[in-house]
Structure 1
Amino acid sequence: MLNSDQIRAHFPALASGAIFFDNPGGTQVAQETVQYMERYLYSHNANHGGRFHTSRASDAAIAEARLAVADFLNAARPEEIVFGQNMTSLTLHISRSLARTLKAGDEIVVTRLDHDANIAPWLLIAEDRGCTVRWIDINPEDCTLNMQEMEAAITPRTKIVAVGYASNAVGTVNDVKRAVQLAHQVGALCYIDAVQYAPHKPIDVKELDCDFLACSAYKFFGPHTGILYGKYEQLDQLTAYKVRPASNYPPTSLRRALKALNPSPASWVQ
């Protein structure tokens, strides 16, 4: 039996006696999250990529977090995990890179059940590149996606299918695995917004075979940070919009970061 008082004790914000019903705005932060962030800021807050100790320790902390998220999503490797300001910003960034692969006449599929963070970025690049947007409607009786419409909308001209795992408005859980299959049948990519799904049920990106999946740590007691999973081969091929000194490769692995922090092989995490 769950002890609600014991659980509430992990969340400093609840000490005020307030009751929060603000899941669309995020969950309250757990005490353990605050303590870890405090240790980071006190002990090794630094710019990344440096050769001095605090920078290497900071790199290792991020790499360790990346490994934890890779486990959380069952990604094949930690280099497939990207952090950003939030899901919206990450989707805008990745859509800009994907736009370079599109040409006039290509098609992008979006749904009327999605949060605008998984709609607006695709509408913007469609306008920029002269692509056609195809909309998938909902079944009004139960607020589910009309999968028959999706099957008809995805054609050999489709390049991107954007779909939510669960609706932020009504909680509908969508058949995203089927959406991935339909996209891949015509050689298209599938981008999944899992922000509302990730706090409630397990996610296995390898089993889904999705190309990209985004969620937000602040929906499950973490800091206000966005998370993006991308298949390594996709991240490696895309052109990143970045400053010139930044790496051209996907995120650094935990092993490489810890090796930079301590060159002794005995200290590396295997």
Structure 2
Amino acid sequence: MNLTQLRRQFPALMQQVAGQSPIFLDGPGGSQVPQSVLSAMTAYLGYYNSNLGGAFFSSDKTVELMANARQAAADLLNAPSKEQIVFGANMTSLTFSFSRAISRDWTAGDEIIVTNADHYSNVSSWQQAAEDKGATVKTALINEADCSLDMAHFESLLSSKTKLVAVTYASNTTGSINDIKRIVELAHAVGALVYVDAVHYAPHELVDVQALDCDFLACSAYKFFGPHLGIVYGKREHLEGFTPYKV
């Protein structure tokens, strides 16, 4: 497929603005959507819009579509099964809900590690959850010379008190890519869980949650040509053991 054929799949790229074809550089706002996605969304809303679990054809269609969507997300992230995929309004809202479920058993004296390379969506929820439980939040620094995570400083923050590490896969500010597999190994060695923000990594590189061995990984479908939707992968033992913050 050549560039012209590729552009034709996106209505936004075929329009004229002030006599010119637009170029979209709004990363935070997400990617533009191809006609195939628009058609699929219109067809569902036009013919099958329904809740799950009803005893009628449109609900059956919704159940089928949801199962297919979970499997597609599992395939994208190389999750072991579609049951380990959670959808939500967006990554920020999902992370907030997960932070409340994960922190349910935290107590005063527990420690949480975030990094100053992270988008605030993967920092604020953990800060608030820690404050509610009397836990301490520590921030891993970056190397200012190349904007990489200071791994020596990160490792110095780890201890038997560490309950969770929240870390970005790729910085939304600098594009720096973290060694998630190594971070997971270090965190697991002290018994801590790892929550990875892959929002800015997933659109550009393949994600393999099994190879990373992370406990959770979040991304956003609207960053890679999908609807405004948040996705979280979680290890089965965690998802089955948590009490939801809200249903």
Pairwise CA distance, 1:19: 1.4
What letter is aligned with 1:26? G
What residue number does 1:72 align with? 76
Pairwise CA distance, 1:142: 0.1
More divergent stretch after superposition (51-60 vs 192-201):
51-60
Deviations 1:92-132 (A, max 9, x none): 01001111021111000000000000000000011000001
Separation of aligned partners in 1, 2:246 and 2:127: 22
Spell out the pairing of 1:188-207 with structure 2 (5 A cutoff).
188-207=192-211
Separation of aligned partners in 1, 2:135 and 2:182: 24
What residue number does 1:11 align with? 10
Spell out the pairing of 1:83-102 with structure 2 (5 A cutoff).
83-102=87-106
Are 2:117 and 1:116 equivalent residues in the alignment? Answer: no
TM-score (norm 2): 0.96
Separation of aligned partners in 2, 1:76 and 1:103: 32
SS at match of 1:24: coil
What residue number does 2:244 align with? 240
Spell out the pairing of 1:121-270 with structure 2 (5 A cutoff).
121-243=125-247
Deviations 1:223-264 (A, max 9, x none): 110100001110110110234xxxxxxxxxxxxxxxxxxxxx
What letter is aligned with 2:69? A
Separation of aligned partners in 1, 2:136 and 2:109: 6
TM-score (norm 1): 0.88
SS at match of 2:203: coil
Separation of aligned partners in 2, 1:165 and 1:99: 22
What letter is aligned with 1:8? R
Identity %: 55
SS at match of 1:7: helix
Separation of aligned partners in 2, 1:178 and 1:120: 24
Are 2:111 and 1:82 equivalent residues in the alignment? Answer: no
What residue number does 2:18 align with? none
Deviations 1:48-91 (A, max 9, x none): 12122211110110110100110110001100001111110100
What letter is aligned with 2:24? F
Separation of aligned partners in 2, 1:179 and 1:92: 22
Q: Is the 8 A contact 2:98 2:245 kept in 1?
A: no
SS at match of 2:146: coil
Separation of aligned partners in 1, 2:224 and 2:95: 19
Q: Is the 8 A contact 2:90 2:220 kept in 1?
A: yes
What letter is aligned with 2:205? K
Aligned length: 242
What letter is aligned with 1:116? Y
What letter is aligned with 1:30? P
More divergent stretch after superposition (111-120 vs 38-47):
38-47
* Aligned counterpart in structure 2 of residue 24 of structure 1, from 23, 28, 31: 28
Q: Is the 8 A contact 2:97 2:246 kept in 1?
A: no
Separation of aligned partners in 1, 2:29 and 2:121: 14
More divergent stretch after superposition (42-51 vs 111-120):
42-51
Separation of aligned partners in 1, 2:185 and 2:127: 23
What residue number does 2:58 align with? 54
Q: Is the 8 A contact 2:219 2:230 kept in 1?
A: yes
Separation of aligned partners in 2, 1:155 and 1:143: 25
What is the alpha-carbon root mean square deviation over aligned residues? 0.9
Pairwise CA distance, 1:183: 1.1
Q: Is the 8 A contact 2:51 2:59 kept in 1?
A: yes
More divergent stretch after superposition (120-129 vs 49-58):
49-58
Deviations 1:169-216 (A, max 9, x none): 010000111111111101110000000000111110001000000000
Unmatched tracts of structure 1, length 5 or more: 244-270
Separation of aligned partners in 2, 1:75 and 1:90: 18
SS at match of 2:165: strand
